[in-house]
Structure 1
Amino acid sequence: MSINIKDSQDVYKDAGENVTFVTLNLKRKDLDQEHDVISEFADMSNSIINSMRIRNQNDQLAVAWGFSSDAWDYLFPNANKPKELEPFKDIKGPKYTAPATEGDLFFHVRAKTEAVVYEVMDQFMDILRPITTVVDETHGFRYLEGRAIIGFIDGTENPAGVESMDYTLIDSDEDPDFANGSYAFSQKYMHNMHAWKNLPTDEQEKTIGRRKFSDRELDDDEKSPNAHNIVSKDERDGVEHKIVRMNVPFSNPSKDKTGTYFIGYSKSWEITHNMLTNMFTKSDRLLDFSTPVSGTLFFIPSKTVLDQIAEGELY
């Protein structure tokens, strides 16, 4: 197994204090122009990031961006393609559906201060605006104690620190052309916060499968049969396969709209897809309070691949 952290984008656990997720579509009006702009952006984006890190050294800027399957096919029709990059398709369960939604380019920018996030995304869009339209822009924040907006501690099952790279980065033995890249699945949920807040704490705990304040896992006989931490796993042949996941709260309180933006990074899309399939086919109890409104798979290229794009080598 061989991975190189220095060659990867920021696909580790770091939800940040302030977060922006942006999904764009290519206009598909002038392929030559779009090639030129994407090449320029692949070249300039790292400089923008590095400059901001020098100017604001304490703000812990982290950025990941990439392409959907449709975008890859359009921009790089003659190039090899990441093995598991495909269009996400609806996952239909007996009660709920994980919808597939459009998107060509995806950006996940986070930092301690909102000004840094703004400045980076603003500079990105100065380059990309002529060839793109906006599908979605969501601004998230770190909730109290880093909890999910539903009040539970988030991400305790995540691989920690450098170990997380073993779960997010593609191995050179598995897909050598795309080593150190990652698959990113983005999914936006809207919550029925009134129903959730009116649920007694012990029922909330049964829904999640953990204690709300201590985060200790409940015994199996205490959980709902379809508790979130049971059905959201990918367990095969006695082995639990993990990804790095982040749940980022967002809200417009005056409009009574509150939700969670889920981003999952993995070295294998199959793992994330199995988790999602389990959640929806087994009617995850949390879905009684959380409605997915988007879902798109993206590939986050390594810096090596971004250099190839910048040099026009993939077209």
Structure 2
Amino acid sequence: MNHCQPAILEAPVPLQARHLFFSLGSPGELRAALDRLVPLIDGRSLVVGLGQPLVQVLGCSVSGLRAFPCFGGALVDVPSTQHALWCWLRGADRGELLHLSRRLEAALFPALTLDHMVEVFRHKEGRDLTGYEDGTENPVGDAAIEAALVTEGGAGDVGGSFAVIQRWVHDLNYFESLPATDQDDIFGRRKSDNEELDEAPASAHVKRTAQESFEPEAFMVRRSMPWVEGERAGLMFLCFGRSFAAFEVQMRRMAGVDDGIVDALYRFSRPVSGEYYWCPPLRDGVLDLSALQIC
């Protein structure tokens, strides 16, 4: 699939990255700002996602795009903090990411203003700060394309993807106070060898989110990375899908909507944000916004 923003399917995650979240400023300047944004996007060092607030202000629509929902019936908090635009900056040099961030801010102002930024990083070979491997059983090859990308539709649709972002805050002091067996039961895997537990509790994360256990199967491509700010730390959950359906059925089950069983991750972690974005495809290496029909 040569139309997607390449980082969506690239593995492993980068050594360093930044998530930038922009709010609407001067809507009348928005089209000019998008014109300045397009040349900056290569889909590899810089991935962009458009939120429903931005698309609505333009008077446009994107099939399948909506704001992060309220998960009715959830037994735990699943907050929605939708922004207008999201940028995922990727690399190995924090200084270069800083300079790219500044260029983006300048290009988008005053139509869009930076609300906040989260720096993330790769831990070991791709682990959560708890030490457990992240992204286990991610689909690869054709299966990843099928899970993450829109493969049917018109110009400006094929190669697009839908991104979900949640910032999770960990209570690492509590987690590290637990016996190793309790930690393994939370994830449903052994930290030592990443093997799934035969007798994992019903609340284990692997039981709540087993992609093949849904009908239809709920596969998505995850690109999550840890974050640290002062004494606070956790995981910036990021996944890509051909729609939001796979994430939503998994999140509903994690939140206890389906059967009253809450994912054991909530014993030591909680989401403090939730956002949905449409990641446009590329055409001849250039961001393709033709689906918006604004040109």
TM superposition score normalised by structure 2: 0.89
Q: Which runs of 5+ in 1 are unaligned?
A: 51-60
Q: In structure 2, how many angstroms separate the alpha carbons of the residues matched to 1:177 and 1:303?
A: 8
Provide the residue aligned with 2:34 in structure 1: 38
Paired residue for 1:55? none
Count of residue correspondences: 287
The separation in 2 between residues aligned to 1:110 and 1:162, in whole angstroms, is: 24
Q: Aligned in 2, Cα 1:308/1:241: closer, same or farther, shift over 3 Å? A: closer
1:296 partnered with 2:275: yes
- Shift of residue 116, structure 1, vs aligned partner: 3.1
Picking from 102, 106, 110, the partner of 2:82 is 102
- 2:111 aligned partner: 131
Other-structure match for 2:214: 236
**Unaligned ranges ≥5, structure 2:** none
| Alpha-carbon distance in 1 for matches of 2:253, 2:155 | 30
Q: Distance in 1 between matches of 2:91 and 2:175?
A: 29
CA 1:8–1:144 in structure 2 vs 1: closer, same or farther (change >3 Å)?
A: closer
Instruction: Provide the residue aligned with 1:24 in structure 2.
Output: 22
TM-score, normalization by structure 1:
0.83
Q: Which runs of 4+ in 1 moved over 4 A?
A: none
Q: Secondary structure at the match of 1:97?
A: coil
Counterpart amino acid of residue 17 in structure 2:
V
CA contact (8 A) 1:9 1:181 kept: no
* 1:146 Cα deviation after fit: 1.9
Partner of 1:57: none
Distance 1:68 1:275, change over 3 A: same
Q: CA offset at residue 308 of structure 1?
A: 4.1
How far residue 269 of structure 1 moved from its aligned partner, in angstroms, is: 0.9
Q: What root-mean-square deviation, in Å, do the aligned CA atoms of Structure 1 and Structure 2 show?
A: 2.3
> How far apart, in 2, do the equivalents of 1:167 and 1:197 lie?
34
Answering whether residue 124 of structure 2 is matched by residue 144 of structure 1, we say: yes
> For each residue in 1:181-236, what CA deviation from the matched residue of structure 2 results, as whole angstroms up to 9, or x when unmatched?
000011001111111011111111111011102101111xx212111011123433
Match of 1:227 in 2: 204
Instruction: Specify which of 220, 226, 231 is matched with residue 249 of structure 1.
Output: 226
Quick one: percent identity of the two aligned structures?
A: 23
Matched with 1:277 is: 252
- What code does the residue aligned with 1:72 have? V
CA change 1:246–1:177 in 2 (3 A) is closer
Give the 5 Å matches for 1:181-200. Answer: 181-200=160-179
| Structure 1 residue 290: Cα displacement | 0.7
User: What is the aligned counterpart of 1:153 among 119, 122, 133?
Assistant: 133
Could you say which residue in structure 2 is the equivalent of 1:84? Answer: 64
Aligned to 2:7: 10
